[in-house]
Structure 1
Amino acid sequence: MANRTRTRTPNEGLRRLLEQAGWSRSQFALVVNRLGAEAGMELHYDQSAVSHWVGGTVPNPRVRRLIVEAFSRKLHRTVTHAEAGLPPAVSDRAAPGVDTVEEIVDLGRADMDPSRRGVVTAAGLFSAALAVPLFSETAHAAEATPVSPGKQTVRIGAGQVESVRRMTDKIADILDELGGGHARPMAAAFLVNTVVPWLRAEATDAVRKDMWAAASDLVYLTGWMAMYERAHGTAQTYYLKALKLAGRAEDHVTYCRTLRGMSLQASNLGHGPLALKLADSAAEAAPQAGPRLRAFLTGQQAHATSMVGDHRRARSLLAETESALMKADNRRESIGGYDQSAYAFHVSHVLYEGKDLPGSIGALQQALRAQPANERQGRVHFYALLAQRQLEYGHLDAACDSWTRFLEDYEHISSARGDEHFDTMRLRLRPYRNARAVRQLSPRVAEVAALKA
């Protein structure tokens, strides 16, 4: 019987980290032993053990935690198991949420570099067979202790929490004005470089919960941007991380907003039953929601309900949405905001699903009239849909006028959703290229195409 030699794949990630840290294998073994002592472990590793790890041997879970902690301290940034070429491991001293934090780091690092986004998108596909955890299953805020062995060198307070919330608002404003192509890398970089270290820092229980909640909002917003950049697998992954963070923070509001965002994503992709399931789950999880959040949730319920053909319930939900919105104040919220423009947009969706094309067009026009002036990205989407529906109704001149307005905003933003609308416009107008309105629009289309090339 021939001898069979078990081959291992060399750990290139660990080798690169050793080079970056400037450690020899003997030095690294001593560092791991020292960290083990901090964590109450008596270790006696030497150069040969590290050589085995670099050669592909996988150390036990508790030691894997020490390895990534050693590099994190030395390189002054969060090093994840994936970066170190190791399978994830949560030690008995680590909070259950550590995997969520590490996954956010790995996702965010790829997302903050647009040249790597194709890899992220290809690796993560949207799942229509998604099992969404109940809020009670994710609410373990009391266990959210620092995850690193030994003493922490950073302590955070309410000021750091406020910084995350203010930065999230600023990124949302940039999204509205300039598009997700510009705002999303900023959000990812802020998550990886600032928020994650604060999630691992020392804090009081109250501050820690607030930081988990603030981080959840930012992760949700980053997922929202990924959704509208057509990176649906990436967006869904961000959303799931936001759910876990919100659950650990016992933050019902962000948890429900995230479920609602997931419902919108499913509806955009044509998955009506999943969209309804998620929208209903969001509404059920927020029994004490304020009027604006209630409108935010029931508006999406109406849209999803219309997609499955229950038009009577959809109209009833629209009435609930309108009633709730009338009771809300005029405060503008960058995250999870809902206003008359958003309501009219939902009315348009419900009417369109109900085969009322002229009513849908009228509601879209109302949504545009009510839209705030600084929401350029939203106008791009609204005018593109309006033009498509006007053309479907047979109003070519009106459609060309809407597409002209679409181009006015589209040229100023970076948005994959806008790019898709631009391609759709050119495709839909091709059969009418000899019509007067299309001939008049064509030079402007060519000009914008050149700018975007």
Structure 2
Amino acid sequence: MIKDRLGAGMPRERNEHLVALLLEARWSRAEAAAAYNRVAAETMSGSIAENSQIGRSHVSMWVGGTKPQGVAPSILCQAFTRRLRREITPQEAGFTEETPSAQGALDWSADPLTALSDLGRSVDSERRRFLANGVFSAAALALPDEPWWDSTARTPAATLTTGKRVGRGDVETVKELTVAFSRMDQRRGGGHGRRAVDQYLGHEVRTFLRGQFIDDITRRAMLAASAELAYVSGWMAFDNSEHAVALSRFNTAVKLAARAGDAPLSGHILRAMAHQALDLGFRADALRISDASIRGARYTDATPRERALLGVVHARTLAANHQRSAASRALLRAEDDLANAHDGIVEPDRTFFFGEASLAHETACTLRDLGDAQQAVKEFRRSVRTRGSAFRRTHAVTLGYLGAVQIAQGGVEEACSTWSNVLDSMEDGIYSGRARQTVVDMRRLMSPYRRRGIPALRQLDARAAAYLAQVD
């Protein structure tokens, strides 16, 4: 029963650590319970999720000294981490027991084909497995050491006497589907179609990887193509706020890219992992992973356009860790790299879509974190102005960030106008946890102004509340 799993029992000494976190987060106990439920929903579905929902009474019990059990401390700490934008450990929250997710480092020695075979299981089975392994945590962000990369790239091809014959046409098929799914993600968000990606990975792609290749070049090309499709699945899960699933897919993608010997592709997947860690408040871990993404051949063997993307995310992680000078230098280097991406350079057939709008978006986030709100607004606007219509999900996220900076500067009506465009996009069929979070954030940021009788704010708040009621 949920009562047992969440730590029912005799009350103990009042948990002052948890009280302090609630005050810092400016959460009521009901709001803390709602945040807990959002994180728990990432790893559970159906009846599991329904039976694992908590209410304010559970938070009150924990404040009173009752110890939550199982993964509950990690879920609550993850909710606080996202709210406070810094890592909150079970110890800081007053829960001293070790939890499953605190031990849940990714297994870099595991065969990626085993992970792909797991994708053929049912959705509920997959969600139960992630629940058993805990939620996204700092422990899961540990990377392998450098010798691992070299030894993995030298992994010999499996010799099969039977199996599907795999040629270049099969590689192109995987690439074409990767592009199609990635474009759908950009238009509709990661909540639309990800399980179809996983089904393809778990069946057709796994069959290709266990087949007989016509030569080693084709083998490595198929490994790289499969890695990029696993990356797309991970990015879609990240966008849809399924963070434990996303990290598992990124782990599989890195392994496949490393076996392919494709260092720049490995760098891009690490860049995505750093981006996710940063969004969830794991700033130091994000910087460490981003450092790894630009180390050695992952950066030097990449094209200028690829280096620009790696570099601008590195700038963001530096800014988030208060390394102002280094962040500024990284931004300038990323701008130079993108400026050098002229038509004469052959780019790999990637799905990363990095151009001026993306650079402006990431630059704006970096400047925002450096405290330069005026320049951040300018870059967010440049991103909105230069982004194509195919990137509607990212467009909505950019507008959400822009509105947050505007209202922080006192431009309430200006922010409302910006956020109205976010809701226009969201109501037109975007399925994205990140985009949804911009709506949650806008309501929170509007809260101090609700009593001022601002018509635009009142109308927008009502629209936002109605939207969230429909999707929750």
Give the TM-score normalised by the residue count of structure 1: 0.72
Cα offset, 1:98, TM superposition = 7.4
Cα offset, 1:329, TM superposition = 3.2
Distance 1:145 1:97 in 2: 17
Q: Which residue pairs with 2:168 in the alignment? A: 158
Distance 1:98 1:309 in 2: 36
Distance 1:120 1:379, change over 3 A: farther
Q: Structure 2 matches for 1:275-314, cutoff 5 A? A: 275-285=286-296, 286=298, 287-314=300-327
Q: Which structure 1 segments of 5+ residues have no match?
A: 1-95
Q: Structure 2 matches for 1:47-446, cutoff 5 A? A: 99-106=111-118, 108-109=119-120, 113=123, 118-122=127-131, 123-129=133-139, 130-134=141-145, 136-139=147-150, 140-141=152-153, 143-146=155-158, 151-203=161-213, 204-285=215-296, 286=298, 287-329=300-342, 335-411=351-427, 412-433=429-450, 434-445=453-464
What is the SS of the residue equivalent to 1:181? coil
Distance 1:143 1:345 in 2: 38
Distance 1:200 1:160 in 2: 13
Distance 1:153 1:305, change over 3 A: closer
Structure 1 vs Structure 2: percent identity of aligned residues?
27
Q: Which residue pairs with 2:29 in the alignment? A: none
Cα offset, 1:191, TM superposition = 0.4
Deviations 1:303-335 (CA, angstroms, capped at 9, x unpaired): 111111111111111111111111113679752
| Runs of 4 or more consecutive aligned structure 1 residues displaced over 4 Å after TM superposition | 115-118, 330-334
Distance 2:255 2:359 in 1: 29
Identify which range, 437-446 or 194-203, moves more after superposition. Answer: 437-446
Deviations 1:129-158 (CA, angstroms, capped at 9, x unpaired): 43312565234455443476xx31411100
Identify which range, 345-354 or 257-266, moves more after superposition. Answer: 345-354
Bigger Cα Rg: 1
CA contact (8 A) 1:184 1:225 kept: yes
CA contact (8 A) 2:250 2:273 kept: yes
Distance 1:332 1:282, change over 3 A: closer
Identify which range, 121-130 or 270-279, moves more after superposition. Answer: 121-130
CA contact (8 A) 1:276 1:305 kept: yes
Distance 1:426 1:147, change over 3 A: farther
Distance 1:358 1:154, change over 3 A: same
Aligned partner of 2:322: which letter? G
Distance 2:149 2:191 in 1: 31
Distance 2:373 2:395 in 1: 20
Distance 2:220 2:431 in 1: 34
Distance 1:212 1:344, change over 3 A: same
CA contact (8 A) 1:178 1:414 kept: yes
Cα offset, 1:442, TM superposition = 4.3
Q: Which structure 2 segments of 5+ residues have no match?
A: 1-107
Cα offset, 1:117, TM superposition = 6.3
Deviations 1:97-131 (CA, angstroms, capped at 9, x unpaired): 8722112221x235x73x66653553342232433
CA contact (8 A) 1:178 1:376 kept: yes
Distance 1:418 1:116, change over 3 A: farther
Cα offset, 1:256, TM superposition = 0.7
Deviations 1:331-374 (CA, angstroms, capped at 9, x unpaired): 79752332111211222122112212222222111111111211
Distance 1:135 1:183 in 2: 35
CA contact (8 A) 2:209 2:223 kept: yes
Distance 2:125 2:404 in 1: 33
What is the SS of the residue equivalent to 1:284? coil
Cα offset, 1:276, TM superposition = 1.5
Cα offset, 1:441, TM superposition = 2.4
CA contact (8 A) 1:292 1:337 kept: no
Distance 2:127 2:178 in 1: 25
Q: How many matched pairs?
A: 353
Distance 1:445 1:117, change over 3 A: farther
Give the TM-score normalised by the residue count of structure 2: 0.70
Distance 2:256 2:109 in 1: 8
Deviations 1:76-104 (CA, angstroms, capped at 9, x unpaired): xxxxxxxxxxxxxxxxxxxx987221122
CA contact (8 A) 1:361 1:386 kept: yes
Distance 1:296 1:193 in 2: 31
What is the SS of the residue equivalent to 1:182? coil
What is the SS of the residue equivalent to 1:369? helix
What is the SS of the residue equivalent to 1:180? coil
Distance 1:171 1:257, change over 3 A: same
Distance 1:429 1:147 in 2: 61
CA contact (8 A) 2:113 2:206 kept: yes
Distance 1:407 1:333 in 2: 33
CA contact (8 A) 1:136 1:247 kept: no
CA contact (8 A) 1:266 1:272 kept: yes
Distance 1:98 1:200 in 2: 16
